Structure 1
Amino acid sequence: MPTTISLTETQILTVLRSFLLAVLPSGTEVVRGQTNRVPEPIGPDFVVMTPIMRERLATNETNYHDAALTGSATGQTLDVTAVDFGEVVIGAPLYGPGIPAGIYVSSFGTGTGGVGTYNLNAPIAPVSGDLFAGTGQAMQATRVTVQIDVHGPLSGDNAQLISTLLRSDYACQFFADQRSDVAPLYASDPRQAPFLNGEKQIETRWTLDAVLQANPVVTTPQQFAGEVVIDLNPLP
């Protein structure tokens, strides 16, 4: 199975953008920075988001999830008829007699963790019986800093609005309603940084840093021992 991450940079910025659109005056555009051959937004007031730093906050939190199944697989379809324990998750590797290495669950069919069908990443010869699908998960609590460039005639007021609300219960509740793995921590003090546009004209710009906590989980394949056999060797 490929190593997967549960929370991408795009998803983090999507939550932050939703918050900014909700609190800024109507018509204020919010875009991602560092995009080539893209002109400025048309409106006079707009915001540009640029991720600039990721800092580890704690040692990894590691969990393991085993799943024992009964069923069959043929082609690119896994048919689970019983689950002894655990659940089937997307990205979980499939183990069992006759199953080649590198086979994993690519998407749900009729099943969503238990009995039902699932799609595999590649076709395999028919197999049936006891199957296993275990994973390991490592979560790294991360402080993510996003530079917020606030442009336009209202940039000073808008920067004040953003820096105030990012350190409020309103922001915490808003982020929690969007995702459980991203939360606002605080914002830096706004500072003016005039911007020279493509026409060599000075634009008013205020900039600040939005500091968030993100908890992405990296999932890897993991096999488990169903039985341990211990042999005793006599001492000479």
Structure 2
Amino acid sequence: MTEGTVLTALGQWLCATVPLPAASVMVGQVNRVAAPVGLFVIMTVAGRARVATNRTTYAQGCRIVWMQQQVDVRVDLHGPGAGDGAGRIALLFRDPACAAFFAGMNTGAGGVTGGIAPLYATTAQQQAFVSDAAQYEDAWHVTLSLQVNSTATFPQDFANTLSVGIFETDATFPPE
């Protein structure tokens, strides 16, 4: 699962939760997008950590390696209502409806659903923010931690058939 897949899924949940139009949710750092007017959200991946040892499964002709990791995403809210939006996000991130939202999303290859689950959210915090016009603006942030299950698939040879027979060892394989 790519970082883009995780941020797309989280952005859709944020749009439904705050609520916001899709154009008001952006990815942070080098996004080259001007800040919109009104309430908007910037998502920035803040960290990744492995939460379990890899698991390996096998399918027809392939080996599948599963990795579980925690992905932390800092969500910055700017504009009128940012504090209320941050509080709403922190409140609803651990709600069963949030887990169901991510569980039902198509986030994997081949139409696989699931792969993302909410872990926890930090407390919403206000931050100092001065705009390019030297004006103080309402800005809040909350960090959301998600469990992300990623896979990598590799080709794998298997022995599909086995010939069993009785052989006279010395006749078939003479001693040297």
TM-score where L is the length of structure 2: 0.82
1:201 aligns with 2:135: yes
- Who is 2:57 aligned against? 63
Runs of 4+, deviation exceeding 4 Å: 227-236
The structure with the largest strand share of the pair is 1
Deviation at 1:38, TM superposition (A): 2.1
Deviation at 1:14, TM superposition (A): 1.1
1:157 aligns with 2:84: yes
- Who is 1:145 aligned against? 72
% same residue? 38
- Who is 2:35 aligned against? 40
Superposed CA RMSD: 2.3
- Who is 1:136 aligned against? 63
* Separation in 1, partners of 2:163, 2:127: 68
- Who is 1:182 aligned against? 116
1:17 aligns with 2:14: no
Provide, for residues 84-141 of structure 1, a one-character-per-residue CA deviation record: whole Å limited to 9, x for no partner.
Answer: xxxxxxxxxxxxxxxxxxxxxxxxxxxxxxxxxxxxxxxxxxxxxxxxxx11111011
Letter in 2 for 1:137: I
Deviation at 1:35, TM superposition (A): 2.4
Letter in 2 for 1:218: A
Deviation at 1:9, TM superposition (A): 1.1
Q: Secondary structure at the match of 1:149?
A: strand
* Separation in 1, partners of 2:52, 2:135: 45
* CA contact 2:20–2:40 (8 Å) conserved in 1: no
- Aligned residue pairs, count: 162
Q: Secondary structure at the match of 2:104?
A: helix
* CA contact 2:14–2:20 (8 Å) conserved in 1: no
Deviation at 1:229, TM superposition (A): 8.0
Structure 1, unaligned stretches of length 5 or more?
1-6, 67-133
- Who is 2:99 aligned against? 172
The structure with the largest helix share of the pair is 2
Deviation at 1:228, TM superposition (A): 6.4
